[in-house]
Structure 1
Amino acid sequence: MTLGPARALGVLTLAAMVALQVASGLAVRPERFTALIVTLLAASAVAFAAAAWGPRRALAAFGGAVLTGYAAEVVGVLTGFPFGDYAYSDVLWPQVGGVPVVVAVAWGGMGLAAYAVAVGIAPAGWARVCVGAAALTAWDLFLDPQMVRLGLWTWAEDGFYRGIPLSNFAGWLLVSAVVMLVIGWIGGDVRPGRGLLAVYTVMAVMETIAFAAVFDPTDPLVAAAGGITMGAFAASAWRRSWQR
């Protein structure tokens, strides 16, 4: 089986993202790699989506997820809803409305990947929306602890999970559900393909290894919480994908 141009681009950008994540894990200032890692993640996700949906629909779905995530972040920074009281530092630039642009890009890239997981597991309708929202929120079990330790954002009050409040995860579920609705509306009935499942799986594996063995100090709790949760979603989606 030969790779089409879109899938080939997806594979190349995913491989580049993995290499950059390895480099960041060994770097003294890993936060400097964040924007480029997220950009490569998004490029890979869009490329794999384009292979299934075509470039226009893939870009539209990505753009819809980016705008949804950005709107939620702006409201969150200004009001504390729906995530809780938090603020971004000045490390990530550029920022628009107090929100780093790369944060919105991350919503788009992982939103597409989580949607592919949802399609692989659940039938159409609210079940798919709920599974996709939970799969995307599972990623934040890694994301928030990592970004807080790098000083990219801060919470006004300590929460139960590595200083992160429960309201954050409730907010993620809500916003992620809207992201799933937007992507599903644009993507239609066409399945997004296994490339996006690979993006989700690679993120799960890389983050698990990073927290378990690379970061200083390591964090076995986060490695287990994120690895088991994202791993369960990825394994279920892959199993059902190969059964079809």
Structure 2
Amino acid sequence: MANAVVSRARVESRLDHLVASNRFTIAVVFPAFGALLLLASAERLLPTPLNFNPFLVLLGTLVMRLPLVAGLAPLVNRRLATGLGLLTLYAYAIEYVGTTTGIPYGEFAYGVDLGPMLLGKVPLGLPVFFLPLVVNAYLLCLLLLRGRADSPFVRVPAVIAAVLLVDLVLDPGAVALGFWSYASGGAYYGVPVTNYGGWTLSATVAVITLDRAFDPTALRRRLAGCSFMLDDLVSFVLLWGSINAYFGQWIPVAIAALFGLGLYSTDRFDVPPPPWWPD
């Protein structure tokens, strides 16, 4: 048991060092190149094998998730692992229902290969795409709300609202790229209102589950001491903000900028450039 604890601590330390030593590459370079590759794919400027290549999409997403994974790693105990496991099952189940029945997000279909599909309906990598969005919103709200976040009656609704704002950025950009589309379209850049009803449901389930799964004292301590823990949200702002800007979708751009402002106000939009970066 003692050896296992030491081994885990060593792995966590090495992961911290890896992320801290490559913050700029992970949080800035990857989303910048990711946006270029996705836009080039949408415009069919790349060779066919590279257009929306699912391996590249998943690899880029996993790299940008590294700061969050490293930040959460020391916090993972049986309770948090159970909570994340239940949310993974929920994500698969609700997406399967959604793609099969159109409930609760509205009738939609994937237009891009996102890798292996579970039961032919749901991308196997779905939790990698969805769960970090909720966790990032949770962490940012803790920083922004400060002492007011002690009350669950403030914390939980604020995080749910933040998750909905995340989707107000993500969904229009994804629809514009052709990742997925809604059968009846929608007033908000091709996204129907029903989608946000579904996101309200999923955000509520996810936020309440995480709220019960986290050790609040340990989470706040780790968040205060881990400077890169929200770098994944920095990547989100850069990636999806630039994609929406390319398509002239300015409301999502403005919302992405609000997230950037929130990160800046909490000293989390401070990714240092590497030594080789020009002054």
- TM-score by structure 2 length? 0.71
CA RMSD across the alignment = 2.9
1:164/1:196 CA distance change after superposition, 3 Å: same
Residue 25 in 1 paired to residue 35 in 2? yes
- How far apart are 1:55 and its partner, in Å? 6.7
> What whole-Å deviation, never above 9, does each CA across 1:46-80 have from its counterpart, x for those lacking one?
211124x1476665554443333222211211222
1:128 is aligned, of 155, 159, 181, to: 155
* Residues 232, 66 of structure 1: alpha-carbon distance in 2 compared, 3 angstrom cutoff: farther
Q: How many residues align?
A: 232
- Asked if the contact 2:110–2:179 (Cα under 8 Å) also holds between the matched residues in 1, the reply is yes
**Unpaired stretches in structure 1, ≥5 consecutive residues:** 240-244
1:95 and 2:125 equivalent? no
Match of 1:66 in 2: 88
Tell me, yes or no, if structure 1 residue 174 matches structure 2 residue 201: yes
The structure-2 alpha-carbon separation of the partners of 1:15 and 1:172, relative to structure 1 and needing over 3 Å to count, comes to: farther
Q: Answer with 1 or 2: which has the greater Rg.
A: 2
State how far apart, in whole Å, the 1-side matches of 2:263 and 2:80 are.
21
Equivalents in 2 of 1:58, 1:42: separation in Å? 18
What is the rounded CA distance, in whole Å, between the counterparts of 1:199 and 1:8 in structure 2? 16
Distance 1:55 1:5 in 2: 19
Structure 1 residues 235, 73: CA separation in 2 closer, same or farther (over 3 Å shift)? Answer: farther
Please give the TM-score of this superposition, normalised by the length of structure 1.
Answer: 0.80
Deviation at 1:184, TM superposition (A): 1.9
Q: Match for residue 227 of structure 1?
A: 257
1:40 aligns with 63
Alpha-carbon distance change, 107 to 10 in structure 1, aligned in 2, over 3 angstroms: farther
Q: CA deviation at 1:181?
A: 1.6
Structure 2 unaligned runs (5+)? Answer: 1-11, 42-50, 268-279
Aligned counterparts, 1:1-244, within 5 A? 4-11=13-20, 12=22, 15-16=25-26, 18-27=28-37, 28-29=40-41, 31-32=52-53, 33-51=56-74, 53-54=75-76, 59-89=81-111, 91-97=113-119, 98-120=121-143, 121=145, 122-189=149-216, 190-191=218-219, 193=223, 195-212=228-245, 215=246, 217-228=247-258, 230-231=259-260, 234=263, 238=266
Q: 1:63-118, CA deviations, whole angstroms, 9 ceiling, x for partnerless residues?
A: 44333322221121122222111122351111113011223221122222122123
Q: Does the 8 Å CA contact 1:76/1:84 hold for their aligned counterparts?
A: yes
